[in-house]
């Protein structure tokens, strides 16, 4: 009996050692894989990857490995072999469908981006792109910001990210499917906040858990969108020329556009706006508060725009927006909250190493955005620096909105919204910190228990050479 037991244990141990060896030395068809560690099976280095960082600097996971192994390293996340690049991100983003394809750790993101690209990119661009922004949305956005900031002055403190998320979701939900938060007496922001919290929870769907709340909240929003579709089918006269109306028109000709898919895409677009722009704005406000001289410059530049108008009451024109030199590039460059994943569909050879077919390439924007060789003193807050770089250098060294065929469909909308928000905020309001939110970077950018400010109206626009006091 004993010898059999010992043989069985020995067999299991040999199997584990062999499995572990194969895991740590993945097949490469005889070519050289770049250095790095695959961690321990089956999770590899997933836990280290998800440890939150409390700084705007490059995520320690990436920074430490670049220091140890060089700009390219291999690792393993969620059971899959991953190669992280530092130097050829721009190239990879141009290789969609040739050397790489879309792939996400989160199947939700993959499905969303896959469908959107295939069916709805043109429609998204018609609604969120420069033409509609220029012709229709710009004054509406300014009006929305004016009303929101006026409301903020009524509170002793405002959680910036949450408050931004509320106004942006109210705006986009109307744009997408005519949802009128004010009339309904309910903004979608609470539901989304709860959904997002649940995204990073343990995937156990039992009542009382964050995961359960995520599922319930997702269902609730999907139901609201679906009901709107049904109402419109029942009484077409109610149509309002929004995104949903246009998709429903397309649905008549395209069988692949099912109710489920359309509902899901609208949900995903709401999700895209609910997290990204609010984080950017919160970081902008946080950094401006810390850098009064930058704040002063920004206020002067924006006041000058108003002063040079013949009619002071008019809203921002497209030309004025384009003349604003304070860009959100600097904020996004420093926030680096979005990671981009691709799967190789061919072996890729780089600098004597191979990234085998089927591997994941992890594009971490901050390892490019915070590279001192590309941006001198990368963590210094200088909103005007990207202007000095020139458009070509900037395009290659800035990938917060992705690049190539799959670049962000909401990039211009996001840029306009941030510019308009800051324009109104610095020319008409002032603020003080109530409670500073600590930076927490996971795959998204968070601010601890929230970044709270007190907002008040500026008595009047300051004289031309007046100082700006926070
Ligand atoms: C600060 C704001 C935003 C950031 C940083 C951002 C970032 C990104 C990135 C990095 C991608 C590329 C993903 C990939 O290549 O795998 C992307 C794609 C996309 N984004 Fe955004 N996004 C923002 C706001 C928005 C908004 C407001 C919308 C909605 C109107 C939006 C809609 C999309 C769509 C539709 C795609 C898919 C494009 C395609 O696959 O063809 N984004 N975004």
Q: What is the pLDDT of residues 384-405, one digit of tens each?
A: 776 666 666 667 788 889 888 8
Least confident interval from 82-91, 214-223, 242-251, 306-315:
82-91
| pLDDT reading at 468 higher than 50 | no
- Condensed to tens digits (0 to 9), the pLDDT of residues 422-452 reads 999 999 999 999 999 999 988 788 899 999 9
**Mind giving me the DSSP string for 276-330?**
HHHHHHHHHHHHHHH-HHHHHHHHHHHHHHHHT-SSTTS---HHHHHH----THH
Q: What is the pTM of this model?
A: 0.90
Evaluate if residue 466 carries a pLDDT over 50: no
Q: Between the CA of residue 349 and those of 45, 199, 354, what are the distances in Å?
A: 24, 35, 5
Angstrom distance (rounded) from CA 259 to CA 256: 10
Ligand 1, from 409, 413, 420: best to mutate by most atoms within 8 Å of Cβ? 409
User: Is residue 59's pLDDT more than 70?
Assistant: yes
Residues 90-143: tens digit of each pLDDT: 788 888 888 888 776 555 566 666 666 667 888 899 999 999 999 899 999 999
436 assigned to some structural domain: yes
Ligand 1 atom nearest residue 127's Cα: 30
How far apart are the CA of 113 and the centre of ligand 1, in A? 9
Residue 193 makes CB contacts below 8 A (sequence gap 6+) with 162, 165
> What's the mean pLDDT in 53-78?
88
Please indicate whether residue 84, judged by its CB atom, sits closer than 6 Å to ligand 1.
no
| CB-based burial label for 411 (10 Å; 0-12, 13-18, 19+) | middle
Which residue from 342, 359, 356, 351 is spatially nearest to 31, judged by alpha carbons? 356
More confident residue, 134 or 332: 134
Are 362 and 100 in contact by the 8 Å Cβ rule? The answer is no
Name the closest-CA residue to atom 24, ligand 1.
410
Q: Is residue 462 part of a domain?
A: no
Q: What is the pLDDT of residues 3-37, one digit of tens each?
A: 778 888 888 888 887 777 777 778 777 778 888 98
Helix 210-234 vs helix 189-199: angle between axes, to the nearest 10 degrees? 140
Alpha-carbon gap, residue 93 to 396, rounded angstroms: 11
- The reply to whether 54 falls in a domain is yes
What is the atom index within ligand 1 of the atom nearest the CA of 104? 16
The reply to whether omega before 42 is within 30° of 0 (cis) is: yes
More confident residue, 56 or 97: 56
Residue 470 lies in a domain: no
The answer to whether residue 201 sits within a structural domain is yes
pLDDT at 463 over 90: no
Distances (CA, A) of 334 to 18, 50, 71, 462: 43, 19, 19, 30
pLDDT one-digit tens code per residue, 175-215:
999 998 888 888 888 888 888 877 767 777 888 888 898 88
Cβ of residue 367 lying under 6 Å from some atom of ligand 1: no
Pairwise pLDDT comparison (121 vs 173), residue with the higher score: 173
Range of the domain at 70: 2-457
Testing ligand 1's pocket by substitution, the residue of 408, 412, 422 carrying the most ligand atoms inside 8 A of its CB is 408
Whether residue 464 lies inside any domain: the answer is no
* CB of residue 410 inside a 6 A radius of ligand 1: yes
Q: Is 331 in the pocket of ligand 1 (CB under 6 A)?
A: no
The larger pLDDT score, comparing residue 49 to residue 460, is at 49
CATH label of the domain that carries residue 368: 1.10.630.10
The neighbour count for residue 454, using CB atoms within 10 Å, is 15
Q: What's the CA gap between 144 and 148, in Å, rounded?
A: 6
Q: 122: Cβ below 6 Å to ligand 1?
A: no
128 lines ligand 1 (CB under 6 A): yes
Is the confidence metric ipTM above 0.90 for this complex? Answer: yes
Query: Residue 414 in contact with residue 284, Cβ under 8 Å?
Result: no
Contacts 24+ apart (CB under 8 A), 227-232: 228/177, 228/178, 228/179, 229/177, 229/259, 229/262, 229/263
Across 53-62, 268-277, 287-296, 316-325, the highest mean pLDDT is recorded for 287-296
Q: How far is CA 376 from CA 72, 177, 286, 380, 465, in A?
A: 22, 44, 22, 8, 31
Domain count, the chain: 1
Q: Which helix (H) or strand (E) holds 348?
A: strand 348-350
The two three-digit tokens of residue 444, written as one number? 């998204």
Q: Is the CB of 414 under 6 A from ligand 1?
A: yes
Contacts of 228 (CB under 8 A, 6+ apart): 177, 178, 179, 244
Cα of first residue to Cα of last residue in the chain, in angstroms, is 81
Q: How far is the CA of 338 from the centre of ligand 1 (A)?
A: 10
Residue 469 falls inside a structural domain: no
Query: Is the pLDDT assigned to residue 469 strictly greater than 50?
Result: no
Mean pLDDT of the chain: 85
Task: Please report whether residue 467 resides in a domain.
Answer: no
Give me ligand 1 centre to Cα 272, in Å. Answer: 7
| Gap from CA of 354 to ligand 1 centroid (Å) | 29
Contacts of 337 (CB under 8 A, 6+ apart): 276, 279, 441, 443, 444, 445
What is the DSSP code (8-state) at residue 237? G
Give the whole-angstrom CA distance, residue 219 versus residue 200.
Answer: 17
Is the pLDDT confidence value at 413 over 70? yes
Residue nearest ligand 1's atom 43 by CA: 408
Give the length of the chain. Answer: 470
Do residues 292 and 381 touch, judged by C-beta distance below 8 A? no
Only one residue has tokens 């594009």, namely 363
User: What distance in Å separates the CA atoms of residue 355 and residue 164, rounded to the nearest whole number?
Assistant: 41
Rounded Cα gap, residues 90 and 107, in angstroms = 24
Asked whether the predicted pLDDT for residue 55 surpasses 80, the reply is: yes
Structure tokens at 36: 């790095």
| Cα 99 to ligand 1 centre (Å) | 21
Give the separation between CA 407 and CA 405, rounded to whole angstroms. 6
- Which of 156-170, 262-276, 327-341 has the highest average model confidence (pLDDT)? 156-170
């Amino acid at each position: 009996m004993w010898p059999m037991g010992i043989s069985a244990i020995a067999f299991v141990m040999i199997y584990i050692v062999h499995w572990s060896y194969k895991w740590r030395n993945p097949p490469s068809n005889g070519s050289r894989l770049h250095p790095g560690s695959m961690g321990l099976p089956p999770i590899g280095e997933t836990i280290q990857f998800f440890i939150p960082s409390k700084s705007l600097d490059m995520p320690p996971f990436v920074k430490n490995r670049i220091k140890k192994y060089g700009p390219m390293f291999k690792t393993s996340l969620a059971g899959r072999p991953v190669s992280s690049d530092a130097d050829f991100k721009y190239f990879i983003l141009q290789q969609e469908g040739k050397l790489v394809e879309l792939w996400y750790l989160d199947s939700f993101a993959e499905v969303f981006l896959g469908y959107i690209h295939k069916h709805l990119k043109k429609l998204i661009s018609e609604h969120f792109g420069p033409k509609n922004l220029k012709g229709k949305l710009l004054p509406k956005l300014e009006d929305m910001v004016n009303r929101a900031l006026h409301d903020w002055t009524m509170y002793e403190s405002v959680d910036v990210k949450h408050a931004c998320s509320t106004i942006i979701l109210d705006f986009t939900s109307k744009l997408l499917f005519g949802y009128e938060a004010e009339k309904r007496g309910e903004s979608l922001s609470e539901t989304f906040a709860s959904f997002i919290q649940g995204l990073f929870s343990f995937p156990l769907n039992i009542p009382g858990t964050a995961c359960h709340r995520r599922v319930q909240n997702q269902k609730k929003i999907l139901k609201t969108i679906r009901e709107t579709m049904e109402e419109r089918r029942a009484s077409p006269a109610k149509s309002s020329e929004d995104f949903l109306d246009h998709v429903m028109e397309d649905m008549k000709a395209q069988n692949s556009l099912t109710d489920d898919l359309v509902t899901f895409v609208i949900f995903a677009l709401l999700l895209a706006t609910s997290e990204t722009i609010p984080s950017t704005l919160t970081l902008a406000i946080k950094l401006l508060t810390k850098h009064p001289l930058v704040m002063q410059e920004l206020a002067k530049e924006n006041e000058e725009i108003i002063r040079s108008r013949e009619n002071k009451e008019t809203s921002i024109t497209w030309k004025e927006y384009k003349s604003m030199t304070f860009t959100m590039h600097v904020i996004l460059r420093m926030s680096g909250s979005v990671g981009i994943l691709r799967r190789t569909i061919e072996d890729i050879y780089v600098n004597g190493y191979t990234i085998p077919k089927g591997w994941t390439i992890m594009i971490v924007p901050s390892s490019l955005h915070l590279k001192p060789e590309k941006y001198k003193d990368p963590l210094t807050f200088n909103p005007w620096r990207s202007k000095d770089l020139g458009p070509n250098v900037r395009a290659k060294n800035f990938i917060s909105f992705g690049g190539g065929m799959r670049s962000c469909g909401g990039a211009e909308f996001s840029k306009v919204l941030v510019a308009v928000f800051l324009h109104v905020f610095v020319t008409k309001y002032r603020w003080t910190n109530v409670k500073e939110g600590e930076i927490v970077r996971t795959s998204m950018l968070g601010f601890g228990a929230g970044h709270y400010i007190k907002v008040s109206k500026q008595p009047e626009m300051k004289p031309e050479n007046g100082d700006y006091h926070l």
